[in-house]
Chain A
Amino acid sequence: MRLCIVDDSEGFRTYLESLLRAAGHDDITTYAQAEDALAGLTRPDALPTDLILMDLLMPGMGGLAGIRRVKATPALADIPIIVVTVSADAENLAEAFAAGAMDYLRKPPRRAELLARVDSALRFKQAIDERKARERELESEKAYIAAILEYSHDGIAVAGRDGRFTFVSPGMERVFGLPADLYTTTDRWLDMVFPDPAVRRDLTDIMASRPAPGHVWRRIYPFADRNGQRRTCQIHFSTMPSGDLIINIEDATLFEKQKEDLLKKQNRHQKDLDAAAEIQQSLLPRRFSMSDSLKFAWEFMPCDNIGGDIFNVFPLGPNHVGLYMLDVSGHGVASSLVALSVYHFMHYQRSTLIDRAEGHIDVVPPETVLERLDEEFPFDKFSKFFTIFYMTIDLRSGYARYGNAGHPAPLHITATGTITPLPRRGTIIGLSGFGAFPAGELTLAPGDKILSVSDGLADSCNRNGEYFGEERVFSAVRQYATAPVGALLPALREAARKFCRDTPPRDDVSMLGVEFLRPKSPPPPAPTSTNPVKACRRPLLSMRMHQ
């Protein structure tokens, strides 16, 4: 610690300094007059001093005036002063103590007494310094907390057990728009800002019951600001150990409005999705038989977020049937609109599927249909691609021709239960002629079935994240391979449902099966050649010309 000796006797200064240094006090400054000491101690670069040993009888202002000046200087006032004097005059000493000296020693001081008095004064100074530091710390904390309460946008209030507010922060005024000092009691506050009687009742209950210390209750309430505008606040209630209730209020009007807007948007989107799903499902085949020669069945399990699956079975002139299944990439309204667009492009009366010449109806070969689709639906157009399996069947002979653009291979299931995936397959639709679409052909015998399923079936998951997978699809098909198509598809759907249970499909699941029953009987002889149906050229021959 730093000591200061003020004495006009150089010899005594040296003596005193030597005693103190010998006792371990090595930071000592000395002055010959009180004026010099005051000038030195108040210099801007002066280090703080912890004790002054002051002579009383000195030239200049003298020790007594020096003591008064030290005590009158705020930066020095806390420094303890020990008077060291030859004078034992009681009046002088009384004046010195009145001026602020804390102790005195007679010259020449005895070493032990000097050191004991010095140590005692230094301990006193240390205690003063620590107390002052703590006071400054507390003041700083207090100012910081006051600034938080002043500038926090949230309102904070504390209510005693009698319902009187013991504290109301300026934030309350910002939230409710009324001067904070209006809220003297919780009842008055409730009456002024919460016009809804049910809200007031609820809040009154909370004020009375109060959460246990350590617990927080959160509520959202409507309130009226000073202009009567309806707003929303979120309130957190917690209780202090003393039982006082802390009420923390946040203006949640904007947040509630955003939530409300978001919900409205979500409802609108959901309605759009529902409408799109309804349209998608209205396009699926309605009948299950088309003639004595062919029966078909289908199953459709839509995903929540509408997919892009569509399939159809339709007549192509008097002797042919066409069937397709397509899956547009992605989910949502965009995918379903592309599917709808392809559905219209694939309408059985359009030139996509039938070439009309003079007096002829030519069934367009599937591979040519796929090329036309690839030209019409490039990926760039909608940022979508699709897979499609398309097949035509001549009902008179069972001759079937197909094209497959990246779709899972359909299965040919014979009447005896032999299962063969249809092997020919090209790339997806949308790559603008990148790959060819090879044609496949086969002849169906009575009892043979064709089964096409979308990849959504194999990709269905159970709650453990396991895929239903192709093996399980094959296994279910094998089990019902000889069953009629009307029994095979429901069995497949049931197998998937048992595996996935309550886990909804991530993608649309579509299944389409056709069963060739028997060749179509030839029509009776025509009385004239002007009937357009009877004037059809034999489609099979026409198709072969396209090969």
Chain B
Amino acid sequence: MQLAHKETDQALVLSFSGEIIMDAVADLKTEAERLTIESPQTVVRLDLAGVTFMDSSGVGFLIGLRRICQEHGKTMTVTNPSPPIKKLLGMLRLTDYFAVQANPADPASA
């Protein structure tokens, strides 16, 4: 798993790519949480466009990040999930929980 981040006018965007699995979560959890807490933005957007696979540890990582956002008065959304990730979140009935969105720049999804 790789993590890139950028701050836009409205949100902190954390872009993940590769496989979000147990070992990768252990490596990047602290960094993602630090970025989330230290950002002045109140919206945290997780861009999962480059994520090819996610196991239950990965889902647990997203739940934990959402909890941290809540504790710091921020909202978290998940954007651009690839079809297998979208299917996984759907199967777990987490689409509403993570406020999953397609590409926000795409007018069709507005």
Q: A residues within 8 Å of B by Cβ?
A: 327-331, 379-380, 383-385, 387, 406, 408, 425-428, 430-431, 434-435, 459, 506-507
Contact = CB atoms under 8 A, between A and B. Distances in A.
Given A379-B67, A435-B97, A427 B92 contact: yes
B63 interface: yes
B22 interface: yes
B54 to A, nearest CB: 10
Contacts of A459: 55
Contacts of A327: 56
Contacts of A331: 22, 57
17 contacts: A329-B59, A330-B22, A330-B60, A331-B22, A379-B64, A384-B60, A385-B63, A406-B94, A425-B91, A426-B93, A427-B94, A427-B97, A428-B59, A428-B94, A431-B63, A507-B55, A507-B56
B27 interface: no
B92 A330 contact: no
B56 A330 contact: yes
B84 to A, nearest CB: 9
B97 A434 contact: yes
8 smallest beta-carbon distances between A and B, as pairs? A329-B56, A427-B93, A406-B92, A329-B60, A330-B57, A428-B92, A379-B63, A435-B93
B97 A385 contact: no
Nearest to A384: B60
Contact of A383 (B22, B60, B91, B93): B60
Given A329-B59, A406-B94, A427-B93, 18 more contacts: A329-B60, A330-B60, A331-B22, A331-B57, A380-B67, A385-B59, A385-B60, A406-B93, A408-B91, A427-B94, A427-B97, A428-B59, A428-B94, A430-B63, A434-B97, A435-B93, A435-B97, A459-B55
B1 to A, nearest CB: 15
B96 interface: yes
A88 B97 CA distance: 112
Most A CB contacts (10 A, CB to CB) among B55, B67, B93, B96 go to B93
Nearest to A386: B56
B interface majority secondary structure: helix
A534 to B, nearest CB: 41
Interface in B1-54: 22
A371 to B, nearest CB: 15
A383 B67 CA distance: 11
A459 B60 CA distance: 17
Given A406-B93, A428-B94, A383 B59 contact: no
B39 to A, nearest CB: 22
A209 B63 CA distance: 63
Nearest to B95: A427
A425 B93 CA distance: 8
Given A330-B56, A379-B63, A387 B97 contact: no
Interface string B72-104: 000000000000000000011110110000000
Given A379-B67, A430-B63, A431-B97, A387 B57 contact: no
A383 B25 CA distance: 13
A380 B60 CA distance: 11
Contacts of A425: 91, 93
Contacts of B55: 459, 506-507
A506 B21 CA distance: 10
A302 B62 CA distance: 25
B92 A387 contact: yes
Contacts of B22: 330-331
Given A427-B94, A434-B97, A383 B64 contact: yes
Contacts of A434: 97
B95 to A, nearest CB: 9
Contacts of A507: 55-56
A384 B92 CA distance: 14
A430 B91 CA distance: 15
B80 to A, nearest CB: 21
Contact of B57 (A329, A379, A435): A329
A281 B97 CA distance: 33
B68 to A, nearest CB: 11
Contacts of A380: 67
A148 to B, nearest CB: 38
A406 B60 contact: no
Given A380-B67, A406-B91, A435 B60 contact: no
Contacts of A427: 92-94, 97
